[in-house]
């Protein structure tokens, strides 16, 4: 993931819109993004694609999250594949990955880096 010089941090929603230890979905420039919030973890917020490549449905935000060997992950609620929240990579099939976006908490605002 290289930083695009043209990219800029944009507000997505408030911190209150996030659900601790769980996910919500946002629509950003016609793209569905799943946002996850793990309070107290080394990185607290994550943004990955909401589109599940296995089922074709937009439901990643509704998956359960946790960790696999310390790597934060989300489990697809339909067919239960696991994806890394950091890299978007699928644990079960390394040819599949979700898109990821840099994301940060700035005070009470959730910001995403987009081009």
Q: Is the CB of residue 86 less than 8 Å from the CB of residue 73? A: no
In angstroms, give the least distance from the CB of 95 to other proteins: 22
Give me the residue label for tokens 């959730």: 110
Closest Cα partner for 98 from 79, 70, 73? 73
The single residue among 7, 44, 77, 89 that binds other proteins, judged by CB under 8 A, is 77
Q: Is 103 in the site for other proteins (CB under 8 A)?
A: no
Closest Cα partner for 102 from 52, 35, 31? 35
Q: Is 32 in the site for other proteins (CB under 8 A)?
A: yes
Q: Which residues bind other proteins (CB under 8 A)?
A: 12-13, 17-22, 24-28, 32, 35, 38, 41, 55-59, 62-70, 72-73, 75, 77-78, 80, 82
């Amino acid at each position: 993931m290289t930083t695009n010089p043209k990219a800029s941090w944009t507000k997505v929603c408030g911190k209150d819109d996030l659900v601790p230890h769980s996910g919500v979905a946002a629509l950003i420039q016609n793209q569905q993004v799943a946002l996850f919030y793990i309070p107290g973890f080394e990185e607290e917020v994550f943004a990955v694609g909401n589109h599940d490549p296995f089922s074709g449905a937009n439901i990643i935000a509704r998956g359960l999250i946790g960790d696999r060997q310390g790597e934060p992950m989300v489990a697809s609620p339909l067919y239960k594949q696991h994806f890394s929240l950091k890299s978007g990579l699928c644990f079960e099939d390394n040819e599949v990955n979700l898109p990821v976006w840099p994301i940060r908490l700035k005070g009470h605002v959730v910001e995403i880096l987009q081009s």
